[in-house]
């Protein structure tokens, strides 16, 4: 029997349609094709990217040369540009401003064929630390109100380059989806005087039906109202509103849960394409009692069609309890 499930944060309804018969083993294996050829992100091609903004160089090599383990550069074809003023203005009933922001590429490894599931823990920890460093640096620019960090893995997920990388876009506004989450979380807090994510964590750790993996500080789960098959959230067990406020020592634990999660995904689904996104507090906002940062991972196993676009409903053919069990046993 299909179910309607309501996301307790956003209020969004999801159809979990078990009658559609998509068991974990029924998803087509996504073949990972290595095309070879020239890659501007590989070592030796540093002159083919914009100058690096920051890099981790264990051998103290010079900027924009080989010897790095991670580099951050401006996107060569940025969605927004950092130079200029916002110049907010109206045209009748319409509002607009200049496309001011920052668009950066985090080149995660010198190894062209590396996956998060195969990276050493230290490499993953460096990626997460680089996210924090860039958020802290960009938060000094008072034009920016929100930073979106995301990773597109595979052509179907929107990746234009094969080399392991993620991206960062600093925005002069808070996007609609985070605003919806903040509103839902604040409404819950105003009513119960508790963080809704902390309550979710407490219930999930008690029921243990949808947990994918955990350690002392973090855990991953298939959320109750999963929009997509094998959707996974990674959350800190202790309340923290902004990702950049994470204590330095916790990044080792976060790298462990990242590695565990992506190893399970790649084993269970044969290296599927996916997107992940960091959900965190707006920049320069006071410590929020209701926001709780987390990562959302969306394997690209199904396509969004007319019903989803037209109604705002998502149809998930695999119950999250079944997906979590399959991943735990992978």
**Would you tell me how many other CB atoms lie within 10 Å of the CB of residue 145?**
17
Q: Are 328 and 212 in contact (CB under 8 A)?
A: yes
The residue assigned the tokens 């037209």 is 310
Q: How many CB atoms lie within 10 A of CB 48?
A: 12
Residue ranges in the chain whose pLDDT is less than 70: 1, 18-36, 286-287
pLDDT value of residue 18: 66
pLDDT computed for residue 143 by the predictor: 93
Query: What confidence score (pLDDT) does residue 114 get?
Result: 95
What pLDDT score does 118 carry? 96
Cα separation, 102 vs 92, whole angstroms: 28
Asked if 150 and 278 touch (Cβ cutoff 8 Å), the reply is yes
**Are 229 and 27 a contacting pair, CB within 8 Å?**
yes
* Strand duo 314-316 + 13-16: pairing: parallel
pLDDT of residue 273: 95
Residue 274 has φ and ψ, to the nearest 5°, of: -160, 165
Residue 23 confidence (pLDDT):
57
Per-residue pLDDT at 81: 86
The closest alpha carbon to 82, from 29, 141, 123, belongs to 141
Return all residues near 139 (Cβ < 8 A) that are at least 6 apart: 147, 244, 283, 284
Contacts of 221 by beta carbon, 8 Å cutoff, 6+ apart: 204, 210, 211, 212, 232, 233, 235, 324
pLDDT at residue 262, as a whole number: 97
The confidence score (pLDDT) of residue 20 equals 52
- Name the residues annotated as catalytic: 165
By three-state DSSP, how is residue 201 classified? Answer: helix
Decide: helix, strand or coil at residue 30.
coil
The model scores a pTM over 0.95: no
Which tens digit of pLDDT belongs to each residue from 94-104?
A: 888 888 899 99
* Cα–Cα distance measured from residue 222 to residue 204, given in angstroms and rounded to the nearest whole number: 10
- Phi and psi at 13, nearest 5°, equal -95, 145
Question: Residue 16: what pLDDT?
Answer: 80
Residue-wise pLDDT for 203-250, tens only, equals 999 999 999 999 999 999 999 999 999 999 999 999 999 999 999 899
CA dihedral sign, ordered 193, 197, 200, 204: negative
pLDDT at residue 89, rounded to an integer: 86
In order of their start, the domains of the chain are 3-26+40-77+95-328 (3.30.428.10)
Rg (CA), the chain: 20
């Amino acid at each position: 029997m299909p179910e309607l499930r309501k996301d307790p944060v956003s209020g969004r309804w999801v159809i979990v349609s078990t009658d559609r018969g998509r068991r974990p083993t029924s998803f087509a294996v996504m073949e990972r094709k290595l095309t070879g050829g020239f890659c501007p992100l590989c070592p030796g091609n540093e002159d083919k990217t914009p100058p690096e903004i920051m890099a981790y160089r264990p051998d103290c090599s010079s900027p924009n040369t080989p010897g790095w383990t991670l580099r951050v550069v401006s996107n060569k074809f940025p969605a927004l540009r950092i130079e200029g003023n916002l110049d907010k203005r109206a045209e009748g009933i319409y509002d607009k401003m200049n496309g001011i922001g920052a668009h950066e590429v985090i080149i995660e490894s010198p190894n062209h064929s590396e996956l998060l599931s195969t990276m050493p823990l230290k490499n993953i920890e460096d990626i997460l630390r680089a996210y924090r460093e860039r958020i802290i640096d960009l938060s000094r620019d008072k034009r920016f109100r929100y930073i979106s960090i995301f990773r597109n893995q595979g052509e179907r997920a929107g990746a234009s380059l094969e080399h392991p990388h993620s991206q960062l876009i600093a925005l002069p506004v808070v996007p609609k989806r985070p605003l919806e989450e903040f509103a839902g979380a604040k409404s819950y807090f105003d009513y119960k005087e508790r963080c809704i994510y902390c309550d979710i964590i407490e219930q999930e750790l008690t029921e243990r039906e949808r947990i994918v993996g955990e350690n002392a500080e973090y855990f991953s789960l298939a959320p109750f109202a999963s929009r997509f098959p094998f959707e996974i959230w990674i959350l800190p067990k202790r309340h923290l509103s902004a990702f950049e406020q994470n204590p330095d020592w916790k990044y080792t634990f976060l790298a462990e849960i990242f590695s565990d999660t992506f190893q399970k995904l790649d084993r269970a689904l044969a290296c599927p394409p996916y997107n992940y996104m960091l959900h965190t507090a707006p920049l320069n906002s006071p410590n929020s009692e209701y926001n709780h940062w987390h990562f959302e991972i969306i394997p690209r196993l199904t396509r969004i069609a007319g019903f989803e676009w037209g109604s705002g409903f998502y149809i998930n053919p695999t119950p999250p309890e079944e997906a979590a069990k399959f991943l735990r046993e992978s």
